[in-house]
Amino acid sequence: MRGARTRAALIAAARKVFERDGYLDAKLSDITKAARCATGSFYTYFANKEEIFAAVLAEAQQDMMHPGIGRVSDTDNPYAVLEASNRAYLEAYRRNAKLMGLLEQVAHVDPKFHELRRRRADAFIQRNARGIADLQARGIADPGIDPLLASRALSGMVSRLAYSVFTRGEADDDAQVDFEELVFTVTRLWANALRFGGS
């Protein structure tokens, strides 16, 4: 039990240090100091900075993988489920925006993190493809589109939009993007692309 607490403290401290200093400038000594543990304890749980960064990212991914079901009372309403799913993803992305920005940066220079980013994206794509196929089987979504390809396109759209809004701050200089408008827009685009109800 104590080991699990120490590991969790190291991961929480690492997240703060990575978000504050960036991946390249983060020091293991800063992580262990923030976690209030000895440097030797760090090596009981992690081999290096890359390994603890991967653990931090894994926790963030768990936060982001929750679908919208369970957040709506009427799971028979596909639009409400889609909206709840988009809202949950965008809320989680906003909470984890600094880490997502770091992952993008590190993935460009480290093949291991490039592969981790690809696997992370693929997990979302596969989950969403299953959801699209289910909607097609229920007669709700356009049966003429390939669920996996549609998922790649739509998931990529939402992911890149979230990155530009929350990580890069690419909203108009004069106004921030309203979160509710963001949820509405991506949900409407998904529903229109899948032709919910023949739209």
Tell how far CA 61 is from the center of its chain: 5
Instruction: Tell whether the model's pLDDT for residue 73 goes beyond 70.
Output: no
Instruction: Tell whether the model's pLDDT for residue 55 goes beyond 90.
Output: yes
Ranges for all domains in the chain classified under CATH 1.10.10.60: 2-49
Q: 56 and 157 in contact (C-beta within 8 Å)? A: no
Instruction: Tell whether the model's pLDDT for residue 75 goes beyond 80.
Output: no
CA 54 – CA 196 distance, rounded (Å): 38
The burial class, CB within 10 Å (0-12 / 13-18 / 19+), for 133 is middle
Q: Which residues contact 74 (CB under 8 A, 6 or more apart)?
A: 80
Q: What is the pLDDT of residue 169?
A: 65
Ranges for all domains in the chain classified under CATH 1.10.357.10: 65-198
Instruction: Tell whether the model's pLDDT for residue 174 goes beyond 80.
Output: no
Q: For a pLDDT cut of 70, what percent of the chain falls above it?
A: 90
Q: In b/e form, how buried is each residue of 2-17, taking b as 16+ CB within 10 angstroms?
A: eeeebbebbbebbbeb
Q: What is the pLDDT of residue 176?
A: 79
> Topology of domain 65-198, per CATH?
Tetracycline Repressor; domain 2 (1.10.357)
Superfamily of domain 2-49: Homeodomain-like (1.10.10.60)
Instruction: Tell whether the model's pLDDT for residue 68 goes beyond 60.
Output: no
pLDDT tens digits for 109-141? 999 999 988 998 999 999 999 999 999 999 999
Q: What is the mean pLDDT of residues 67-77?
A: 64
